[in-house]
Amino acid sequence: MSLYIVQGFIASGKTTFSKKLSKEKNAIHLNPDEMLTKMYDKEYYMKNWDTCFDNALTTMWEKAKEYLLENKDVILDMGFWKKADREYARNIAKECGVECIHYYLYVPDNILKERIINDRPSEWASIHLKNFDHNKSKFEEPDSENVIVIHNY
């Protein structure tokens, strides 16, 4: 059994890749954005984003552990911007006695920005573009980690 973690910046293709991988591996796909929309209505989570997103993440981690302990493969599609989050996932995998496989979807910034403009609803696109450089500065690319790099462009 395996825990697959999919790392990538906004619009890198994480969800498309993760859903394809889940079909190939017959694995359970977990995504905090999808979890969020199942837990809350849009108006509420837009007003209370941080709290709602944190609750969705907590639920996702709990579900991941539950599925792994049931001997089911799990794909976590959540960006993994911070190395600490990737280490947390590796520790969960170790705790559950499964392998952790880390994919990093690399896409150049100019292509990411094009995708944000073309593939996101306008309300989200303007926010993501406005905060692009600030958010990118928070994104920690993998360093010495055991990772499979995919040039997804």
Give the pTM: 0.92
Hey, what CATH topology would domain 2-151 get?
A: Rossmann fold (3.40.50)
At 58 the pLDDT is 95
Tokens 């049931």 correspond to what residue?
70
Q: Tokens representing 40?
A: 């809350």
Instruction: Report the distance separating Cα 96 and Cα 23, nearest Å.
Output: 22
At 120 the pLDDT is 76
User: Can you give the residue ranges of every domain in the chain?
Assistant: 2-151
Q: Tokens representing 61?
A: 């981690």
pLDDT of 65-86, one tens digit each? 999 999 999 999 999 999 999 9
Work out whether strand 28-30 and strand 74-79 pair parallel, antiparallel, or are unpaired.
parallel
What residues in the chain have per-residue pLDDT under 70?
Answer: none
Instruction: Report the distance separating Cα 6 and Cα 85, nearest Å.
Output: 11
